Structure 1
């Protein structure tokens, strides 16, 4: 059984003391494909080092996270462009709009999101979307930019059934993680109504640990709790969930 974690911040400071051991735990639990989203240039070296240490398992994205869209965002976007021009990445991500922390940057967040969507089209890469308190704003941009060559993953999907269907209509898979195990997560109430071909697994570690680890540091090996929950909700084996979601990840990332 091969399990794919389509979204994990393995370079995070939260893993500074036991990163190698944590990754080894995941590999021993059959999690052997780690897709690593970018945040901003302060993490680039850590990401490259991670790829160097685990080349068979680690696949890097490039992009500017919406919460890192600040006064210097144009400079950050230039750095993204420079890296895309000189080496391969598996996706542009994570990109999008976050209105939870700062609504005042909405306009430049939209500009950065749109710019990076166009980079994805240029390099024929998927996008990985971060959306927090911003479904309407993200969907507006996707509607304006939609095309056959725009596709990707709606990371950490926490919306309604209707929003799930809308995301899928824009050629997006839904990234499902620890939230599906939460009592108040709500997506567990309808996710089984969505064909599994639209779903990929993720942890977003070190964030959003599933039950029974909620509130603690998340890690990629904990994805088995997401797998268990989806197996229960879809009433199919964990092996089948792992197989289908890994195939879905291959369709998106081409890896």
Structure 2
């Protein structure tokens, strides 16, 4: 198994070691970077829309330049009240940097799916859409992005289930988004069960066996890692 997008916790780190789970740990500030770097974890790094400001971007630039993957970045008009003009400017500057440095990008698209789609069309790249929760623009995103992560709410949240129905299995990745997100999504903090449930749900929707789905999703993850880490000297 893998976890293509998660926020660090000691619990997740221990379970990943126990079960041999590979992942991409999200880094949002220098303190998180020092922790992840010390533990030699593979990671992405970006200015999240909730923290978007030009000052934050300026301070984070050295970390963005080191990171094998840029993210999670994007725009959000549902869960935060940061000025959208500021979010857009910070987001687009990071898209430009990722394009210039040939680094894949993990996207946060809450409530701003249309604007983000317009922006990423300007900067062709390897894009991973994290936990897409919108009924609209799936076809349009599918035309320009490389992967979609499966939100742990699959089977409960119609938008996530519909996404998996519409997207090829070759473009899907597993994610937890961290322990708190798992609790929110499935009313449980069982990290392993959440990842396993994603495989079970995809197997049902794609009419494939559990082990076939697990194999394909893990292959997708390895392709993403190779496109990022090896290309950027990780």
TM norm structure 2: 0.86
Structure 2 residue ranges without an equivalent (≥5): 230-234
Q: Distance in 1 between matches of 2:205 and 2:117?
A: 27
Equivalent in the alignment of 2:44:
61
Equivalent in the alignment of 1:23:
13
Q: 1:179 aligns with which of 132, 153, 169?
A: 153
Query: 2:6·2:177 contact (CA, 8 Å) conserved in 1?
Result: yes
Q: CA RMSD in A?
A: 2.4
169-178 or 115-124, which deviates more: 169-178
Matching of residues 187-206 of structure 1 within 5 Å: 187-189=160-162, 191-206=164-179
Deviation at 1:225, TM superposition (A): 1.3
Query: 2:96·2:123 contact (CA, 8 Å) conserved in 1?
Result: no
Q: 1:151 aligns with which of 126, 140, 143?
A: 126
Equivalent in the alignment of 1:36:
25
Superposed CA deviations along residues 181-201 of structure 1, whole A, max 9, x for unmatched, are 21x434324523421011111
Q: Is 1:9 aligned to residue 40 of structure 2? A: no
Equivalent in the alignment of 1:166:
140
TM norm structure 1: 0.79
Identify, as 1 or 2, the structure richer in helix.
Answer: 2
Q: Is 1:228 aligned to residue 218 of structure 2? A: no
Deviation at 1:223, TM superposition (A): 0.8
The higher relative CO (CA closer than 8 Å, separation ≥ 6) is in 1
Q: 1:248 aligns with which of 211, 220, 224?
A: 220
Matching of residues 68-107 of structure 1 within 5 Å: 68-69=51-52, 73-85=53-65, 87=66, 89-107=67-85
Secondary structure of the structure 1 residue equivalent to 2:137: helix
Query: 1:158·1:179 contact (CA, 8 Å) conserved in 2?
Result: no
Deviation at 1:79, TM superposition (A): 2.8
Deviation at 1:218, TM superposition (A): 5.9
Q: Distance in 2 between matches of 1:167 and 1:219?
A: 28
Q: 1:214 aligns with which of 186, 189, 205?
A: 186
Query: 1:210·1:225 contact (CA, 8 Å) conserved in 2?
Result: no
Q: Distance in 1 between matches of 2:211 and 2:23?
A: 18
Deviation at 1:84, TM superposition (A): 3.8
Structure 1 residue ranges without an equivalent (≥5): none
Q: Is 1:140 aligned to residue 140 of structure 2? A: no
Stretches of 4+ moved more than 6 A in 1? none
